[in-house]
């Protein structure tokens, strides 16, 4: 899911404390960027809704020994 956030410009990637400080400063000072990024992040979350439940169900099936079908869908 992190790739989706990055692809949609819905997050800021940081590598260290200075970048974290700069990211916070940028978001605090740029209302438009902050609003746009939060909107895109919400859209990614809505699009991915149910993914966690699907993953949990698959893990439970594996634990129970049920047959599972694995797909590599990035939709």
Q: What's the CA gap between 67 and 18, in Å, rounded?
A: 48
Is the pTM value of this prediction over 0.85?
Answer: no
Q: Give me the residue spans of the domains in the chain.
A: 2-64
Per-residue pLDDT of 9-64, as tens digits, reads 999 999 999 999 999 999 999 999 999 999 999 998 888 887 878 887 888 888 88
DSSP class of 60: H
14: tokens are 């940081």
Given the structure tokens 């909107």, which residue do they identify?
Answer: 39
């Amino acid at each position: 899911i992190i790739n989706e956030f990055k692809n949609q410009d819905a997050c800021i990637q940081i590598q260290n404390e200075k970048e974290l400080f700069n990211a916070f400063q940028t978001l605090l000072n740029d209302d438009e960027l902050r609003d746009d990024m939060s909107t895109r992040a919400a859209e990614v979350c809505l699009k991915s809704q149910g993914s966690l439940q699907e993953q949990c169900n698959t893990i439970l099936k594996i634990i129970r020994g049920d047959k599972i079908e694995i797909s590599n869908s990035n939709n």
